[in-house]
Structure 1
Amino acid sequence: MSENEKIEIHLLLEAIHIKYGYDFRKYSNTHVFRRIHEIIEKTNCQSVSELQYKVLYDSDTFLIFLKYLSINVTEMFRNPPFYKSIRNEIVPVLKTYPFIKIWSAGCSTGEEVYSLAILLHEEGLLDRTIIYGTDINEGVLIKAREGIYPANMIEKFSENYQNAGGKGHFDDYFTVKYNYASVKNELKKNIVFAGHNLVTDHVFGEMNLITCRNVFIYFEQELQDHAIKLFSDSLCTGGFLGLGSKEDMRFSTYHNLFQTINERNRLYQKKFM
């Protein structure tokens, strides 16, 4: 990549931050550069500068940019041991609270939010829990609110569910019609989906559990530290944090705010000060 192109990309990200409030300036350079070139190809631009012009003057082009920069790869009960650890190690603590608040940050199209809802339902906790699912991308939040997924994914989701220690029949949580499976309304009643930007937005309530999985892998260390501090400030004392399997608290400036509950499954607890 030439020096001029680096300057163009820097100016593009600055322009997006100023106009739209989305801050991608501290995202991993490798991730950003690769995605921008994919967007240039998708939008038939000849250069980064042309893309900047289109992003500033055409909101549809910005939505394409946002779609490519915010990665949305997820599935229900993804990494089953993570959910088994929540069931075995965190749920017993949650059962001691009269009311529970959970935040799924970077929730994408909602699969992991509904996974938590199913788990909590089976543990008798869903009726006294509010689950907040947030993402930077309003497009994926619309899909999350709908809770409609391709029926051909149910077999994979069901396998994950069983491996995560599911106690019932996975199909009972869906209504299948044509080629789609819809999450049943009783699972949705205590779920709130909302926009939230981990880079620019502030503390999000006082949570008992926060999950943010496979988001940090796209962040530079400074931005990871910012998010860890945000999560600490958003947790009640003794609250829990779950990260992705390739994300590690040990390298954060704020690792001392947490103690490790399960290193293998990246579960941490905010220390009692």
Structure 2
Amino acid sequence: MEGAVISDEQVDLLLADTLEQYGYDFTGYSRASLKRRILRLFTLDKALSFAEFRYRINNDSSYFKRFVEQITVNVTEMFRDPMFFKTLREEVLPKLGTYPFIRVWVAGCSTGEEAYSIAIILKELNLLEKSLIYATDINPAVLDRAAQSIFALSYMKQYSENYILSGGTKEFSGYYTANYSLAKFNDDLKKKIIFSTHNLVSDRSFNEFQLILCRNVLIYFDRELQHKVFGLFDDSLEELGYLALGTKETINFSPFLKKYKRLGTEKIWRKIQK
């Protein structure tokens, strides 16, 4: 498949198919990166033609799951951007500790590393027992992996370094059990996390939260879709709740900006009015 090409018109056809056939709307995703990932899958799976590729996506539900897994970006790590997590630990979560119950939404959670990171900080602040973390993603395959709470042992050195830089003071290895090449995180963390599918594009608000994290997801959406998702988050966030985004994301150009106040230098905003 050297030199394989997929045209913009063919990408449009696939996006229309997935919306009509499965209810997945990717039309607001950044077109250039989406096209690259579709072409990569087309080449990787050695489709004989675009027609065959399209037919398989439309008629083979297991292959459609693979399609979704490949075209959605799943890059994450525990305590990624340690100073962000240090701010959560020192400024955000202690304030939420005054609430009788804490609900956190990790939107676009991928394989779950961020959700487990939040659970560890809540545990160290003695807040985990009165907290619930909702970790959602459009991709069922990555959620299955997240729910197993198992990660490659080779990642633990980096995760431990991130944890220490984020203000962690315990032995990071105390949060998991090593078994050959795998690390399984403790059940007391996992039991406070609910993993479920949620489509930021088409699904509605499903609860009210004090903290919403959606980091490094919106960079793959166009401006119109970003505004739609900000509306969903605004509907889902309590007054005085916090919204946290990735390092290259902002609400500055959204119609919701006037309702939020940024917290320091991190990409965290507090909702100051309903």
TM-score tier (shorter): over 0.9
Deviation at 1:152, TM superposition (A): 1.0
Shift of 1:12: 1.0
Change (3 A) 1:12 1:237: same
Q: Distance in 1 between matches of 2:57 and 2:186?
A: 38
Distance (Å, rounded) in 2 between the aligned partners of 1:179 and 1:167:
25
Counterpart among 67, 70, 95 of residue 68 in structure 1: 70
Find out whether 1:272 has 2:264 as its counterpart: no
- Corresponding letter in the other structure for 1:172: G
Identity in percent: 43
Which of 158, 162, 165 in structure 1 is aligned with 2:164? Answer: 162
- Determine the structure 1 residue equivalent to 2:16: 14
Q: Superposition pairs for residues 36-75 of structure 1, below 5 Å?
A: 36-75=38-77
Separation (CA, whole Å) in 2 of partners of 1:49 and 1:229: 37
Aligned-partner Cα distance in 2 for 1:17–1:49: 18
Q: Report SS of the residue matched to 1:269.
A: strand
Whole-Å separation in 2 of the counterparts to 1:47 and 1:270: 50
Distance of 2:175 and 2:238 partners within structure 1:
31
Equivalent residue letter for 2:24: Y
Aligned match for 1:143, one of 142, 145, 162: 145
Which amino acid is the alignment partner of residue 20 of structure 2?
A: I
1:51 Cα shift?
2.0
* Deviation for aligned residue 1:46: 4.2
Inter-partner Cα distance in structure 1 for 2:168 and 2:159: 11
Contact 1:43–1:61 (8 Å) recurs in 2:
no
Q: Tell me the C-alpha RMSD between the 2 structures.
A: 1.3
Instruction: Please name the residue that 1:184 is paired with.
Output: 186
Instruction: Kindly provide the CA deviation profile for residues 4-51 of structure 1, in whole angstroms up to 9, marking residues without a partner as x.
Output: 922221111011011111111110011111111111112222444432
- Structure 1 contact 198–227 (Cα < 8 Å) conserved: yes
TM-score scaled by length of structure 1: 0.95
Tell me the distance in 1 between the aligned counterparts of 2:170 and 2:48. Answer: 54
Alignment partner of 1:108 is 2:140: no
Amino acid at match of 1:58: D
1:87–1:119 Cα contact (<8 Å) kept: yes
Question: What is the CA-CA distance between 1:70 and the residue it aligns to?
Answer: 1.0
SS of structure 2 residue aligned to 1:232: helix
- Partners of 2:201 and 2:49 in 1: CA distance: 27
Measured in 1, the distance between the counterparts of 2:163 and 2:11 equals 42
Partner of 2:3: none
Q: Which moved more, 1:100-109 or 1:56-65?
A: 56-65
Cα distance in 1 for residues equivalent to 2:93 and 2:135:
19
Query: Aligned partners of 1:90, 1:36: CA distance in 2, in Å?
Result: 39
Q: Would the aligned equivalents of 2:94 and 2:125 in 1 still touch at CA under 8 Å? A: no
1:30 matched to which residue of 2? 32
What is residue 261 of structure 1 aligned with on the other side? 263
Aligned partners of 2:7, 2:36: CA distance in 1, in Å?
Answer: 13
Which aligned runs of 4 or more in structure 1 are off by greater than 4 angstroms? none
Amino acid at match of 2:238: C
Deviates more, 1:249-258 or 1:218-227: 249-258
Distance, in Å, in 2 between the alignment partners of 1:50 and 1:212 is 35
Structure 1, unmatched stretches of 5+, are none
- Whole-Å Cα distance in 2 between the matches of residues 242 and 23 of structure 1? 24
CA–CA distance in 2 between the matches of 1:185 and 1:57?
38
Distance in 1 of aligned mates of 2:226 and 2:178: 39
How far apart, CA to CA, are the structure 1 residues paired with 2:37 and 2:48?
15
Per-residue CA distance 1:154-202 (angstroms, 9 max, x = gap): 1100000000000211111001111111001111121110000000100
